[in-house]
A and B are shown apart, each in its own frame.
Chain A
Amino acid sequence: MRSSTSTLRYVVLSLLALAFVSPLLFMVSTSFKSRQESAQTPPTWFPQAPTLDAYRTILSATDTPVFRWFANSIIAATSNALLVVVTSSLAAYALARMDFKGKKVVFGLIVATLFVPPVILVIPNYEIVGRLFWLDTLLAVIVPTAANAFGVFFLRQFFISLPTELEESAYLDGANTWQVFSKIVVPLSRPALATLTLLAFLTNWNDFLWPVYVLFSPENQTLQAGLSTLQSANNVRYDLLMAGAVIASVPVLILYALSQRFVIEGVSRSGLKG
Protein backbone atom coordinates (compact mmCIF):
# COMPACT_ATOMS: atom_id res chain seq x y z
CA MET A 1 0.00 0.00 0.00
CA ARG A 2 2.85 2.33 0.88
CA SER A 3 4.43 1.94 -2.54
CA SER A 4 1.14 2.53 -4.36
CA THR A 5 0.54 5.85 -2.56
CA SER A 6 4.08 6.90 -3.38
CA THR A 7 3.56 5.97 -7.05
CA LEU A 8 0.36 8.01 -7.08
CA ARG A 9 2.22 10.92 -5.55
CA TYR A 10 4.87 10.81 -8.27
CA VAL A 11 2.24 10.58 -11.00
CA VAL A 12 0.29 13.58 -9.65
CA LEU A 13 3.37 15.70 -9.02
CA SER A 14 4.91 14.80 -12.37
CA LEU A 15 1.74 15.73 -14.27
CA LEU A 16 1.62 19.03 -12.40
CA ALA A 17 5.32 19.63 -13.10
CA LEU A 18 4.71 18.93 -16.78
CA ALA A 19 1.88 21.48 -16.81
CA PHE A 20 4.28 23.97 -15.21
CA VAL A 21 7.20 23.41 -17.55
CA SER A 22 5.55 22.83 -20.94
CA PRO A 23 4.43 26.45 -21.45
CA LEU A 24 8.04 27.53 -21.01
CA LEU A 25 9.28 24.88 -23.45
CA PHE A 26 6.65 25.99 -25.94
CA MET A 27 7.86 29.58 -25.55
CA VAL A 28 11.43 28.53 -26.40
CA SER A 29 10.26 26.34 -29.28
CA THR A 30 8.17 29.15 -30.81
CA SER A 31 11.06 31.61 -30.64
CA PHE A 32 12.93 29.40 -33.13
CA LYS A 33 10.03 29.18 -35.59
CA SER A 34 9.52 31.21 -38.73
CA ARG A 35 6.83 33.89 -38.75
CA GLN A 36 4.50 31.62 -40.75
CA GLU A 37 5.03 28.57 -38.57
CA SER A 38 4.44 30.50 -35.34
CA ALA A 39 0.93 31.39 -36.56
CA GLN A 40 0.08 27.95 -37.95
CA THR A 41 -2.91 25.87 -36.87
CA PRO A 42 -2.65 23.36 -35.38
CA PRO A 43 0.54 24.56 -33.68
CA THR A 44 3.70 22.50 -34.09
CA TRP A 45 5.51 21.32 -30.94
CA PHE A 46 8.96 21.56 -32.47
CA PRO A 47 10.15 24.05 -35.11
CA GLN A 48 9.99 22.32 -38.51
CA ALA A 49 12.73 24.54 -39.92
CA PRO A 50 14.50 26.13 -36.92
CA THR A 51 15.56 29.72 -37.58
CA LEU A 52 17.07 32.64 -35.67
CA ASP A 53 14.99 35.16 -37.63
CA ALA A 54 12.87 36.21 -34.66
CA TYR A 55 15.97 36.92 -32.56
CA ARG A 56 17.65 38.79 -35.40
CA THR A 57 14.56 40.91 -36.02
CA ILE A 58 13.90 41.81 -32.43
CA LEU A 59 17.52 42.58 -31.58
CA SER A 60 17.96 44.84 -34.58
CA ALA A 61 14.76 46.85 -34.05
CA THR A 62 15.68 50.18 -32.45
CA ASP A 63 12.27 50.73 -30.85
CA THR A 64 12.53 47.49 -28.86
CA PRO A 65 15.98 47.47 -27.20
CA VAL A 66 15.53 44.24 -25.22
CA PHE A 67 19.12 44.15 -23.91
CA ARG A 68 18.86 47.74 -22.79
CA TRP A 69 15.63 46.91 -20.89
CA PHE A 70 17.38 44.02 -19.27
CA ALA A 71 20.28 46.23 -18.16
CA ASN A 72 17.85 48.89 -16.87
CA SER A 73 16.02 46.27 -14.82
CA ILE A 74 19.26 44.95 -13.34
CA ILE A 75 20.41 48.49 -12.44
CA ALA A 76 17.04 49.47 -10.97
CA ALA A 77 16.45 46.29 -8.96
CA THR A 78 20.02 46.18 -7.60
CA SER A 79 20.06 49.87 -6.60
CA ASN A 80 16.62 49.59 -5.03
CA ALA A 81 17.58 46.47 -3.06
CA LEU A 82 20.77 48.08 -1.75
CA LEU A 83 18.90 51.24 -0.76
CA VAL A 84 16.27 49.14 1.03
CA VAL A 85 18.82 47.08 2.95
CA VAL A 86 20.98 50.02 4.05
CA THR A 87 18.15 52.32 5.14
CA SER A 88 15.97 49.69 6.79
CA SER A 89 18.82 47.94 8.64
CA LEU A 90 19.95 51.25 10.19
CA ALA A 91 16.39 52.15 11.17
CA ALA A 92 15.63 48.64 12.43
CA TYR A 93 18.74 48.68 14.64
CA ALA A 94 17.71 51.95 16.27
CA LEU A 95 14.21 50.53 16.89
CA ALA A 96 15.53 47.21 18.21
CA ARG A 97 18.31 48.35 20.53
CA MET A 98 18.04 52.03 21.42
CA ASP A 99 15.79 53.91 23.83
CA PHE A 100 14.56 57.31 22.78
CA LYS A 101 11.53 59.53 22.95
CA GLY A 102 9.08 58.96 20.15
CA LYS A 103 10.24 55.39 19.44
CA LYS A 104 6.77 53.92 19.85
CA VAL A 105 5.24 56.52 17.55
CA VAL A 106 7.86 55.95 14.82
CA PHE A 107 7.55 52.17 15.00
CA GLY A 108 3.75 52.37 15.10
CA LEU A 109 3.67 54.55 11.97
CA ILE A 110 5.98 52.20 10.08
CA VAL A 111 4.01 49.08 11.04
CA ALA A 112 0.72 50.80 10.18
CA THR A 113 1.91 51.31 6.60
CA LEU A 114 2.29 47.53 6.26
CA PHE A 115 -1.51 47.54 5.97
CA VAL A 116 -1.79 50.46 3.55
CA PRO A 117 -2.41 49.10 0.04
CA PRO A 118 0.11 50.49 -2.46
CA VAL A 119 -2.69 51.81 -4.72
CA ILE A 120 -3.11 54.82 -2.42
CA LEU A 121 0.44 56.00 -3.26
CA VAL A 122 0.25 55.74 -7.06
CA ILE A 123 -1.37 59.08 -7.94
CA PRO A 124 0.38 61.32 -5.36
CA ASN A 125 3.79 59.71 -5.95
CA TYR A 126 3.42 60.38 -9.68
CA GLU A 127 2.85 64.05 -8.79
CA ILE A 128 5.90 64.05 -6.45
CA VAL A 129 8.18 62.26 -8.92
CA GLY A 130 7.04 64.74 -11.60
CA ARG A 131 7.98 67.72 -9.40
CA LEU A 132 11.41 66.15 -8.81
CA PHE A 133 11.89 65.85 -12.61
CA TRP A 134 12.37 62.10 -12.20
CA LEU A 135 9.71 61.06 -14.74
CA ASP A 136 11.20 58.90 -17.51
CA THR A 137 14.35 58.26 -15.46
CA LEU A 138 15.38 55.16 -13.54
CA LEU A 139 15.37 57.23 -10.30
CA ALA A 140 11.57 57.03 -10.46
CA VAL A 141 11.65 53.24 -10.16
CA ILE A 142 14.57 53.10 -7.70
CA VAL A 143 13.88 55.64 -4.95
CA PRO A 144 10.13 55.89 -4.09
CA THR A 145 9.67 52.15 -3.46
CA ALA A 146 12.77 52.02 -1.23
CA ALA A 147 10.80 53.14 1.84
CA ASN A 148 10.13 49.51 2.71
CA ALA A 149 8.14 49.08 5.94
CA PHE A 150 8.38 45.30 5.71
CA GLY A 151 12.20 45.55 5.68
CA VAL A 152 12.27 47.55 8.92
CA PHE A 153 9.79 45.22 10.61
CA PHE A 154 11.55 42.05 9.45
CA LEU A 155 15.07 43.20 10.44
CA ARG A 156 13.91 44.60 13.78
CA GLN A 157 12.49 41.19 14.70
CA PHE A 158 15.78 39.61 13.66
CA PHE A 159 17.97 42.08 15.61
CA ILE A 160 15.86 41.59 18.76
CA SER A 161 16.46 37.85 18.53
CA LEU A 162 20.26 38.30 18.54
CA PRO A 163 22.02 37.80 21.92
CA THR A 164 23.30 41.13 23.32
CA GLU A 165 26.57 39.90 24.95
CA LEU A 166 28.85 40.62 22.00
CA GLU A 167 27.49 44.14 21.59
CA GLU A 168 27.84 44.83 25.33
CA SER A 169 31.45 43.68 25.48
CA ALA A 170 32.28 45.82 22.43
CA TYR A 171 30.86 48.87 24.22
CA LEU A 172 33.04 47.99 27.26
CA ASP A 173 36.04 47.96 24.93
CA GLY A 174 35.20 51.52 23.94
CA ALA A 175 33.42 50.99 20.60
CA ASN A 176 30.76 53.48 19.56
CA THR A 177 27.28 52.60 18.32
CA TRP A 178 28.24 52.81 14.65
CA GLN A 179 31.22 50.49 15.17
CA VAL A 180 29.08 47.99 17.09
CA PHE A 181 26.48 48.04 14.33
CA SER A 182 28.87 47.73 11.39
CA LYS A 183 31.48 45.39 12.91
CA ILE A 184 29.29 43.10 15.02
CA VAL A 185 25.59 43.31 14.16
CA VAL A 186 25.88 43.40 10.37
CA PRO A 187 28.17 40.34 10.09
CA LEU A 188 25.92 38.40 12.50
CA SER A 189 22.84 39.31 10.44
CA ARG A 190 24.07 38.24 7.03
CA PRO A 191 21.30 35.66 6.40
CA ALA A 192 18.53 38.14 7.24
CA LEU A 193 20.15 40.94 5.23
CA ALA A 194 20.59 38.61 2.25
CA THR A 195 16.94 37.49 2.46
CA LEU A 196 15.73 41.08 2.46
CA THR A 197 18.05 42.02 -0.43
CA LEU A 198 16.68 39.15 -2.46
CA LEU A 199 13.02 39.93 -1.72
CA ALA A 200 13.51 43.62 -2.52
CA PHE A 201 15.27 42.70 -5.76
CA LEU A 202 12.48 40.31 -6.82
CA THR A 203 9.75 42.82 -5.92
CA ASN A 204 11.41 45.60 -7.91
CA TRP A 205 12.21 43.27 -10.82
CA ASN A 206 8.56 42.23 -11.01
CA ASP A 207 7.09 45.69 -10.55
CA PHE A 208 4.83 46.48 -13.48
CA LEU A 209 2.17 49.17 -13.08
CA TRP A 210 4.52 51.90 -11.84
CA PRO A 211 7.25 51.56 -14.53
CA VAL A 212 4.59 51.29 -17.27
CA TYR A 213 3.35 54.79 -16.40
CA VAL A 214 6.50 56.62 -15.22
CA LEU A 215 8.90 55.50 -17.99
CA PHE A 216 8.02 56.60 -21.54
CA SER A 217 11.08 56.40 -23.80
CA PRO A 218 11.86 52.96 -25.20
CA GLU A 219 15.49 53.18 -24.03
CA ASN A 220 14.50 54.03 -20.44
CA GLN A 221 12.07 51.20 -19.86
CA THR A 222 12.52 48.25 -17.53
CA LEU A 223 12.13 44.75 -18.85
CA GLN A 224 8.58 44.30 -17.57
CA ALA A 225 7.36 47.61 -18.98
CA GLY A 226 9.29 47.26 -22.23
CA LEU A 227 8.05 43.76 -22.94
CA SER A 228 4.46 44.91 -22.65
CA THR A 229 5.06 47.54 -25.37
CA LEU A 230 6.44 44.78 -27.57
CA GLN A 231 2.98 43.28 -27.59
CA SER A 232 1.23 46.33 -29.03
CA ALA A 233 4.08 47.01 -31.46
CA ASN A 234 3.99 43.50 -32.90
CA ASN A 235 0.44 42.48 -32.30
CA VAL A 236 0.40 39.20 -34.17
CA ARG A 237 4.11 38.39 -34.35
CA TYR A 238 4.18 35.67 -31.71
CA ASP A 239 7.60 34.52 -32.92
CA LEU A 240 8.98 37.95 -31.96
CA LEU A 241 7.07 38.09 -28.68
CA MET A 242 8.39 34.69 -27.66
CA ALA A 243 11.97 35.57 -28.66
CA GLY A 244 11.70 38.69 -26.47
CA ALA A 245 10.26 36.61 -23.64
CA VAL A 246 13.08 34.07 -23.94
CA ILE A 247 15.77 36.79 -23.82
CA ALA A 248 14.05 38.18 -20.71
CA SER A 249 13.61 34.80 -19.00
CA VAL A 250 16.67 32.71 -19.65
CA PRO A 251 19.17 34.76 -17.60
CA VAL A 252 16.73 34.94 -14.68
CA LEU A 253 15.94 31.23 -14.87
CA ILE A 254 19.65 30.34 -14.91
CA LEU A 255 20.29 32.62 -11.94
CA TYR A 256 17.33 31.07 -10.16
CA ALA A 257 18.46 27.51 -10.91
CA LEU A 258 21.85 28.30 -9.40
CA SER A 259 20.47 29.95 -6.28
CA GLN A 260 17.01 28.35 -5.98
CA ARG A 261 17.64 26.84 -2.55
CA PHE A 262 18.54 30.22 -1.21
CA VAL A 263 15.68 32.03 -3.01
CA ILE A 264 13.05 29.64 -1.69
CA GLU A 265 14.48 29.62 1.83
CA GLY A 266 14.52 33.42 1.84
CA VAL A 267 10.86 33.56 0.85
CA SER A 268 9.74 30.98 3.39
CA ARG A 269 11.71 32.62 6.20
CA SER A 270 10.14 35.99 5.51
CA GLY A 271 6.69 34.41 5.46
CA LEU A 272 7.06 32.99 8.93
CA LYS A 273 8.24 36.26 10.40
CA GLY A 274 5.07 37.98 9.23
Chain B
Amino acid sequence: MASRRAWTPWAFLAPYLALFTAFVIAPVLLGLWISLHDWDFTLPGKPFVGLGNYADLFDPSSVTFAPFWNAMRATGIFTVCAVPLLLVVPLAVALVMNQGFRGRNAFRTIFFAPYVLGVAVVGLLWRFLLDANIGVVNALLGAIGLSGDTAWLSSVPAAWVSLVGVTIWWTLGFNAVIFLAGLQDVPGELYEAARVDGAGAWGRFRHVTLPSLRPVTMFVTMVTIIASANMFGQSFIMTKGAPGQETRTAIYYIAETGLQNFQMGSAAAGSWILTLALMLLSVVVFAVFRERKGARA
Protein backbone atom coordinates (compact mmCIF):
# COMPACT_ATOMS: atom_id res chain seq x y z
CA MET B 1 0.00 0.00 0.00
CA ALA B 2 1.99 2.95 -1.24
CA SER B 3 1.38 6.23 0.51
CA ARG B 4 0.24 9.17 -1.61
CA ARG B 5 2.95 11.62 -0.64
CA ALA B 6 6.62 11.05 -0.13
CA TRP B 7 6.66 12.78 3.25
CA THR B 8 3.73 10.85 4.77
CA PRO B 9 5.91 8.06 6.26
CA TRP B 10 8.25 10.63 7.76
CA ALA B 11 5.34 12.49 9.30
CA PHE B 12 4.31 9.26 11.03
CA LEU B 13 7.87 8.55 12.11
CA ALA B 14 8.72 12.09 13.22
CA PRO B 15 7.48 12.06 16.86
CA TYR B 16 9.18 8.74 17.59
CA LEU B 17 12.38 9.62 15.75
CA ALA B 18 12.60 12.93 17.64
CA LEU B 19 12.57 11.08 20.98
CA PHE B 20 14.76 8.29 19.63
CA THR B 21 17.40 10.70 18.32
CA ALA B 22 17.43 12.88 21.44
CA PHE B 23 17.43 10.15 24.09
CA VAL B 24 18.96 7.06 22.43
CA ILE B 25 21.15 7.87 19.41
CA ALA B 26 22.60 11.15 20.72
CA PRO B 27 23.28 9.75 24.22
CA VAL B 28 25.09 6.69 22.84
CA LEU B 29 27.43 9.00 20.92
CA LEU B 30 27.62 11.56 23.73
CA GLY B 31 28.46 8.76 26.19
CA LEU B 32 31.39 7.74 24.02
CA TRP B 33 32.49 11.40 23.82
CA ILE B 34 32.19 11.83 27.61
CA SER B 35 34.21 8.68 28.21
CA LEU B 36 37.12 10.28 26.34
CA HIS B 37 37.18 13.34 28.63
CA ASP B 38 37.81 14.20 32.23
CA TRP B 39 34.14 15.18 32.50
CA ASP B 40 32.53 16.69 35.59
CA PHE B 41 28.95 17.87 35.29
CA THR B 42 29.54 20.63 37.82
CA LEU B 43 32.85 22.00 36.48
CA PRO B 44 33.42 24.18 33.39
CA GLY B 45 36.59 22.62 31.96
CA LYS B 46 36.35 19.12 30.48
CA PRO B 47 39.86 18.23 29.23
CA PHE B 48 40.26 15.55 26.57
CA VAL B 49 42.05 12.48 27.95
CA GLY B 50 41.69 10.06 25.03
CA LEU B 51 41.48 6.49 26.22
CA GLY B 52 42.79 7.53 29.65
CA ASN B 53 39.60 6.64 31.52
CA TYR B 54 39.62 3.18 29.95
CA ALA B 55 43.32 2.73 30.62
CA ASP B 56 42.75 3.60 34.29
CA LEU B 57 40.00 1.00 34.60
CA PHE B 58 42.45 -1.62 33.31
CA ASP B 59 45.44 -0.38 35.32
CA PRO B 60 45.77 -2.23 38.66
CA SER B 61 47.67 0.71 40.19
CA SER B 62 44.90 3.27 39.51
CA VAL B 63 42.35 4.22 42.20
CA THR B 64 39.39 3.26 40.01
CA PHE B 65 40.64 -0.23 39.18
CA ALA B 66 39.72 -2.11 42.37
CA PRO B 67 36.23 -0.65 42.99
CA PHE B 68 35.23 -1.03 39.33
CA TRP B 69 36.31 -4.65 39.01
CA ASN B 70 34.87 -5.53 42.42
CA ALA B 71 31.57 -4.17 41.12
CA MET B 72 31.91 -6.06 37.84
CA ARG B 73 32.61 -9.21 39.81
CA ALA B 74 29.51 -8.60 41.98
CA THR B 75 27.40 -8.25 38.83
CA GLY B 76 28.97 -11.43 37.48
CA ILE B 77 28.30 -13.39 40.69
CA PHE B 78 24.70 -12.23 40.83
CA THR B 79 24.05 -12.97 37.15
CA VAL B 80 25.66 -16.41 37.27
CA CYS B 81 23.65 -17.38 40.40
CA ALA B 82 20.33 -15.77 39.49
CA VAL B 83 19.87 -16.55 35.78
CA PRO B 84 19.82 -20.39 35.95
CA LEU B 85 17.41 -20.30 38.92
CA LEU B 86 15.22 -17.71 37.20
CA LEU B 87 14.96 -20.10 34.24
CA VAL B 88 14.54 -23.45 36.00
CA VAL B 89 12.18 -22.49 38.86
CA PRO B 90 9.69 -20.53 36.72
CA LEU B 91 9.75 -23.32 34.10
CA ALA B 92 8.94 -25.90 36.79
CA VAL B 93 6.10 -23.74 38.10
CA ALA B 94 4.80 -23.22 34.55
CA LEU B 95 4.88 -26.99 33.87
CA VAL B 96 2.76 -27.67 36.96
CA MET B 97 0.41 -24.80 36.15
CA ASN B 98 0.03 -26.00 32.56
CA GLN B 99 -1.97 -29.02 33.76
CA GLY B 100 -5.68 -28.35 33.96
CA PHE B 101 -6.89 -28.14 37.56
CA ARG B 102 -9.15 -26.02 39.68
CA GLY B 103 -7.64 -22.92 41.22
CA ARG B 104 -4.96 -22.56 38.58
CA ASN B 105 -5.74 -18.90 37.94
CA ALA B 106 -5.63 -18.13 41.65
CA PHE B 107 -2.08 -19.54 41.92
CA ARG B 108 -1.07 -17.66 38.78
CA THR B 109 -2.38 -14.42 40.29
CA ILE B 110 -0.51 -15.00 43.56
CA PHE B 111 2.84 -15.83 41.95
CA PHE B 112 2.74 -12.75 39.75
CA ALA B 113 1.63 -10.34 42.51
CA PRO B 114 5.08 -9.36 43.98
CA TYR B 115 6.17 -8.12 40.56
CA VAL B 116 3.60 -5.29 40.51
CA LEU B 117 4.86 -3.95 43.86
CA GLY B 118 8.08 -2.53 42.52
CA VAL B 119 11.58 -2.94 43.82
CA ALA B 120 11.35 -0.33 46.61
CA VAL B 121 8.54 -2.10 48.46
CA VAL B 122 10.16 -5.47 47.83
CA GLY B 123 13.53 -4.23 49.09
CA LEU B 124 12.19 -2.56 52.23
CA LEU B 125 9.99 -5.53 53.10
CA TRP B 126 12.79 -8.08 52.81
CA ARG B 127 15.30 -5.87 54.58
CA PHE B 128 12.91 -6.12 57.51
CA LEU B 129 12.22 -9.86 57.17
CA LEU B 130 15.93 -10.63 56.82
CA ASP B 131 17.10 -8.34 59.65
CA ALA B 132 19.67 -10.36 61.59
CA ASN B 133 18.30 -9.42 65.02
CA ILE B 134 14.57 -8.85 64.81
CA GLY B 135 13.80 -10.41 61.40
CA VAL B 136 11.18 -13.09 61.04
CA VAL B 137 13.39 -15.29 58.84
CA ASN B 138 15.95 -15.84 61.61
CA ALA B 139 13.13 -16.25 64.15
CA LEU B 140 11.61 -19.02 62.02
CA LEU B 141 14.96 -20.72 61.49
CA GLY B 142 15.64 -20.54 65.22
CA ALA B 143 12.21 -21.96 66.01
CA ILE B 144 12.86 -25.09 63.93
CA GLY B 145 16.25 -25.59 65.57
CA LEU B 146 18.52 -24.15 62.89
CA SER B 147 20.99 -21.35 63.45
CA GLY B 148 18.94 -18.21 63.94
CA ASP B 149 21.67 -15.60 63.82
CA THR B 150 22.74 -15.47 60.17
CA ALA B 151 23.67 -11.96 59.02
CA TRP B 152 21.56 -12.21 55.85
CA LEU B 153 22.30 -8.67 54.67
CA SER B 154 25.81 -8.02 55.95
CA SER B 155 27.91 -11.12 55.33
CA VAL B 156 28.79 -13.10 52.23
CA PRO B 157 27.76 -15.56 50.93
CA ALA B 158 24.50 -15.08 52.93
CA ALA B 159 23.88 -11.66 51.31
CA TRP B 160 24.06 -13.28 47.87
CA VAL B 161 21.54 -15.90 48.93
CA SER B 162 19.26 -13.07 50.10
CA LEU B 163 19.64 -10.98 46.94
CA VAL B 164 19.09 -13.94 44.62
CA GLY B 165 16.24 -15.36 46.71
CA VAL B 166 14.40 -12.05 46.89
CA THR B 167 14.84 -11.54 43.16
CA ILE B 168 13.28 -14.96 42.53
CA TRP B 169 10.38 -14.14 44.86
CA TRP B 170 9.91 -10.82 43.06
CA THR B 171 10.19 -11.94 39.40
CA LEU B 172 9.40 -15.67 39.33
CA GLY B 173 5.82 -14.98 38.21
CA PHE B 174 6.92 -12.83 35.28
CA ASN B 175 9.08 -15.56 33.72
CA ALA B 176 6.60 -18.30 34.66
CA VAL B 177 3.79 -16.53 32.80
CA ILE B 178 5.89 -16.25 29.64
CA PHE B 179 6.85 -19.96 29.87
CA LEU B 180 3.19 -20.85 30.48
CA ALA B 181 2.10 -18.99 27.35
CA GLY B 182 4.81 -20.89 25.43
CA LEU B 183 3.67 -24.24 26.83
CA GLN B 184 0.09 -23.57 25.79
CA ASP B 185 1.26 -23.13 22.20
CA VAL B 186 2.92 -26.57 22.00
CA PRO B 187 0.73 -28.68 19.68
CA GLY B 188 -0.96 -31.54 21.58
CA GLU B 189 -0.38 -33.93 18.66
CA LEU B 190 3.35 -33.84 19.35
CA TYR B 191 2.78 -35.23 22.84
CA GLU B 192 0.43 -37.91 21.49
CA ALA B 193 2.95 -38.92 18.85
CA ALA B 194 5.65 -39.17 21.51
CA ARG B 195 3.34 -41.23 23.70
CA VAL B 196 2.64 -43.62 20.81
CA ASP B 197 6.40 -43.97 20.36
CA GLY B 198 6.55 -45.06 23.99
CA ALA B 199 8.14 -41.93 25.48
CA GLY B 200 7.70 -41.49 29.24
CA ALA B 201 7.12 -38.18 31.02
CA TRP B 202 10.84 -37.33 30.98
CA GLY B 203 11.16 -38.33 27.31
CA ARG B 204 8.20 -36.15 26.35
CA PHE B 205 9.72 -33.23 28.28
CA ARG B 206 13.12 -33.65 26.62
CA HIS B 207 12.00 -34.36 23.08
CA VAL B 208 8.79 -32.36 22.78
CA THR B 209 8.54 -29.65 25.46
CA LEU B 210 12.11 -28.35 25.50
CA PRO B 211 12.57 -28.14 21.70
CA SER B 212 9.16 -26.47 21.25
CA LEU B 213 10.00 -23.92 23.93
CA ARG B 214 13.33 -22.95 22.35
CA PRO B 215 12.31 -19.48 21.05
CA VAL B 216 10.53 -18.65 24.32
CA THR B 217 13.48 -19.90 26.37
CA MET B 218 15.88 -17.80 24.34
CA PHE B 219 13.71 -14.71 24.88
CA VAL B 220 13.45 -15.34 28.63
CA THR B 221 17.20 -16.04 28.87
CA MET B 222 18.13 -12.78 27.14
CA VAL B 223 15.67 -10.68 29.13
CA THR B 224 16.78 -12.27 32.42
CA ILE B 225 20.50 -11.82 31.70
CA ILE B 226 20.03 -8.13 30.86
CA ALA B 227 17.84 -7.59 33.93
CA SER B 228 20.29 -9.43 36.23
CA ALA B 229 23.28 -7.55 34.86
CA ASN B 230 21.41 -4.32 35.60
CA MET B 231 20.51 -5.31 39.15
CA PHE B 232 20.57 -2.21 41.32
CA GLY B 233 17.53 -1.63 43.54
CA GLN B 234 17.79 -4.82 45.60
CA SER B 235 21.43 -4.16 46.42
CA PHE B 236 20.88 -0.39 46.95
CA ILE B 237 18.05 -0.94 49.44
CA MET B 238 18.76 -4.28 51.10
CA THR B 239 22.53 -4.50 51.51
CA LYS B 240 23.86 -1.04 50.54
CA GLY B 241 26.70 -2.98 48.96
CA ALA B 242 27.58 -4.63 52.29
CA PRO B 243 29.43 -6.27 53.98
CA GLY B 244 32.19 -4.07 52.45
CA GLN B 245 31.70 -3.39 48.76
CA GLU B 246 31.04 -7.07 47.96
CA THR B 247 27.43 -6.68 46.82
CA ARG B 248 27.85 -3.33 45.10
CA THR B 249 27.01 -4.12 41.46
CA ALA B 250 28.54 -2.56 38.35
CA ILE B 251 25.57 -0.32 37.61
CA TYR B 252 25.56 0.76 41.27
CA TYR B 253 29.23 1.74 40.93
CA ILE B 254 28.62 3.52 37.60
CA ALA B 255 25.66 5.52 38.92
CA GLU B 256 27.50 6.47 42.12
CA THR B 257 30.71 7.46 40.31
CA GLY B 258 28.94 9.40 37.57
CA LEU B 259 25.82 10.84 39.18
CA GLN B 260 26.89 11.30 42.78
CA ASN B 261 30.64 11.96 42.60
CA PHE B 262 30.29 13.45 39.08
CA GLN B 263 33.29 11.61 37.64
CA MET B 264 31.25 11.15 34.48
CA GLY B 265 34.12 10.35 32.13
CA SER B 266 35.22 7.39 34.18
CA ALA B 267 31.63 6.25 34.74
CA ALA B 268 30.86 6.48 31.00
CA ALA B 269 33.97 4.42 30.22
CA GLY B 270 32.83 1.85 32.79
CA SER B 271 29.37 1.65 31.25
CA TRP B 272 30.90 1.03 27.82
CA ILE B 273 32.98 -1.85 29.22
CA LEU B 274 29.87 -3.35 30.88
CA THR B 275 27.87 -2.90 27.66
CA LEU B 276 30.54 -4.58 25.53
CA ALA B 277 30.69 -7.48 28.00
CA LEU B 278 26.90 -7.86 27.81
CA MET B 279 26.88 -7.72 24.01
CA LEU B 280 29.53 -10.44 23.92
CA LEU B 281 27.37 -12.52 26.25
CA SER B 282 24.33 -11.98 23.98
CA VAL B 283 26.29 -13.28 21.00
CA VAL B 284 27.21 -16.38 23.03
CA VAL B 285 23.57 -16.97 24.02
CA PHE B 286 22.46 -16.66 20.38
CA ALA B 287 25.20 -19.07 19.30
CA VAL B 288 24.28 -21.62 21.97
CA PHE B 289 20.61 -21.63 20.98
CA ARG B 290 21.40 -21.75 17.28
CA GLU B 291 23.89 -24.60 17.64
CA ARG B 292 21.35 -26.74 19.51
CA LYS B 293 18.85 -26.07 16.76
CA GLY B 294 21.38 -27.22 14.14
CA ALA B 295 22.16 -30.37 16.10
CA ARG B 296 18.48 -31.29 16.22
CA ALA B 297 17.82 -30.76 12.50
Contacts and interface: CB of A to CB of B under 8 A. Distances in A.
B180 interface: yes
B9 A98 contact: yes
Given A106-B13, A123-B267, A256-B116, A116 B28 contact: yes
Contacts of A113: 20, 24
B180 A268 contact: yes
Contacts of A100: 3, 6, 9-10
B138 to A, nearest CB: 9
A197 interface: no
Given A117-B275, A177-B3, A128 B27 contact: yes
Contacts of A205: 118
A53 B95 CA distance: 45
Contact of B109 (A213, A248, A260): A260
Interface string B246-272: 000011001100111000100110011
Contacts of A252: 116-118
B295 interface: no
A113 B10 CA distance: 20
Given A119-B251, A213-B255, A253-B116, A271 B182 contact: yes
Contacts of B274: 117, 119
B223 to A, nearest CB: 8
B73 interface: no
B194 interface: no
A264 B108 contact: yes
A36 B15 CA distance: 55
A272 B185 contact: yes
A138 to B, nearest CB: 16
A193 interface: no
B116 A124 contact: no
A272 B291 CA distance: 21
Nearest to A83: B19
Interface stretch (B55-63, B76-84, B152-160, B227-235): B227-235
A60 interface: no
B288 interface: no
B287 interface: no
B219 A271 contact: yes
A264 B34 contact: no
Interface size class of B (residues with CB under 8 A): 35 or more
A109 B134 CA distance: 52
Interface in A217-249: 223-228, 230-231, 238, 241-242, 244-245, 248-249
Nearest to B2: A99
A39 B19 contact: no
Nearest to B232: A209
A62 interface: no
Given A167-B1, A245-B121, A91 B16 contact: yes
A9 interface: yes
Given A90-B16, A117-B275, A272-B216, A208 B27 contact: no
Given A13-B96, A16-B93, A271-B178, A125 B23 contact: yes
B105 A261 contact: yes
B132 to A, nearest CB: 11
Given A20-B114, A91-B16, A122 B237 contact: no
9 contacts: A6-B101, A41-B133, A94-B10, A103-B9, A122-B271, A128-B22, A205-B118, A209-B233, A267-B174
Interface of A: 6, 9-10, 12-13, 16-17, 19-21, 23-24, 26-27, 30, 39-43, 83, 86-88, 90-91, 93-95, 97-100, 103, 106, 109-110, 113, 115-128, 130, 143-147, 149, 152, 164, 167-168, 171, 176-177, 181, 202, 205-206, 208-209, 212-213, 223-228, 230-231, 238, 241-242, 244-245, 248-249, 252-253, 256-257, 260-261, 263-264, 267-269, 271-272, 274
Given A21-B113, A238-B128, A261-B105, 17 more contacts: A20-B113, A27-B125, A43-B139, A94-B10, A99-B2, A115-B279, A117-B229, A120-B28, A122-B259, A126-B259, A127-B34, A228-B236, A242-B125, A244-B124, A263-B116, A269-B181, A272-B185
Interface of B: 1-4, 6, 8-10, 12-13, 15-17, 19-20, 22-28, 30-31, 34, 41, 93, 96, 99, 101, 103, 105, 107-114, 116-121, 123-129, 131, 133-136, 139, 142-143, 169, 174, 177-178, 180-182, 185, 216, 219-220, 223, 226, 229-230, 232-233, 236-237, 250-251, 254-255, 258-260, 264, 267-268, 271-272, 274-275, 278-279, 282
